[in-house]
Amino acid sequence: MRAPFSPRVGERVISYIDHLGGLDGMVARTFDGGFAVEFKISAPKRELITNVLTWYGSGDHNVEDQVHVRSAPRHPSQNLILPTGTVGDCRVIDVSLSGASVAIR
């Protein structure tokens, strides 16, 4: 992962990736400009990843083909809490079973 910070080796990381949702792992090593993560992925999640990668590989990325239906929230103005404890305003664009799209300022 490319990042402007370096977490500690062994620190838990949850990455939210479009169409895949949350991927849970541990920092395996750090390098200049980022860090490597060893993900712990269950069999059902591996199947989802396989399906999403197959979908991307098909070259046909229509919204109708997304793995999970996305919905606009009733209350889009929310707070985003970073691992450091910093709280900021954000706007939730849409949510699904696999994740959420948010806009921050």
Give the pLDDT of residue 46. Answer: 85
- Beta strands 34-39 and 87-96, pairing class: unpaired
What's the CA gap between 53 and 39, in Å, rounded? 17
CA distance readout (Å), 68 to 10, 33, 56, 98, 102? 31, 32, 14, 7, 17
What's the CA gap between 71 and 100, in Å, rounded? 9
Give the pLDDT of residue 67. Answer: 62
pLDDT digits over 21-45, tens only?
A: 788 999 999 999 889 999 988 888 8
Question: Which one is predicted more confidently, 22 or 18?
Answer: 22
Q: Read off the amino acid at residue 76.
A: P
